[in-house]
A and B are shown apart, each in its own frame.
Chain A
Amino acid sequence: MAYIFYISAAVAVVATLLVVTRTHAVHALLYLVVSLLAVAMVFVTLGAPLVAALEVIIYAGAILVLFVFVIMMLNLGAPSVERERAWLAPSAWVGPTILCLILLAELLYVAASGGGAEVAEAATVGPKEVGQALFGPYVLGVELAGMLLLAGLVGGYHLGRREALETGPEEGPP
Chain B
Amino acid sequence: MTAIPMEHGLALAAALFVLGLVGVLARRNIVFVLMSIEIMLNAAGVAFVVAGARWGAADGQVMFLFILATAAAEVAVGLALVLQLYHRFRTVDADAASKMRG
Residues of chain A touching chain B, judged by Cβ–Cβ distance below 8 Å, are 1-2, 5-6, 9, 12-13, 16-17, 19-20, 25, 28-29, 32, 35-36, 39, 42-43, 45-48, 50-51, 54, 58-59, 62-63, 66-67, 69-71, 73-74, 121-123, 125, 129-130, 132-134, 138, 141, 145, 148-149, 151-153, 155-160, 164-165, 168, 170
Contacts and interface: CB of A to CB of B under 8 A. Distances in A.
Contacts of A148: 69-70, 73
A43 B73 CA distance: 23
B72 A133 contact: no
A9 B8 CA distance: 9
Interface in B48-98: 49-50, 52-53, 56-62, 64-66, 68-77, 79-84, 86-88, 92
Q: Which 7 A-B pairs give the minimum distances between C-beta atoms?
A: A152-B73, A159-B80, A156-B76, A20-B23, A145-B69, A133-B58, A46-B53
A43 B13 CA distance: 12
Contacts of B71: 59, 63
A50 B26 contact: no
Interface of B: 1-4, 8-9, 12, 15-16, 19-20, 22-23, 26-27, 29, 31-32, 34-36, 38-39, 42, 45-46, 49-50, 52-53, 56-62, 64-66, 68-77, 79-84, 86-88, 92, 102
Nearest to A49: B61
B68 A70 contact: no
Nearest to A151: B73
A70 B29 CA distance: 13
Contacts of A149: 69, 72-73
Contacts of A152: 72-74, 76-77
B4 A46 contact: yes
Given A20-B36, A35-B39, A46-B4, 12 more contacts: A2-B4, A5-B9, A13-B19, A32-B38, A46-B1, A59-B38, A67-B79, A71-B31, A123-B1, A125-B61, A141-B66, A159-B77
A133 B53 contact: no
A122 to B, nearest CB: 5
B69 A47 contact: no
Contacts of B57: 125
A19 B60 CA distance: 26
Nearest to B73: A152
A1 to B, nearest CB: 6
Nearest to B87: A165
Contacts of B34: 67
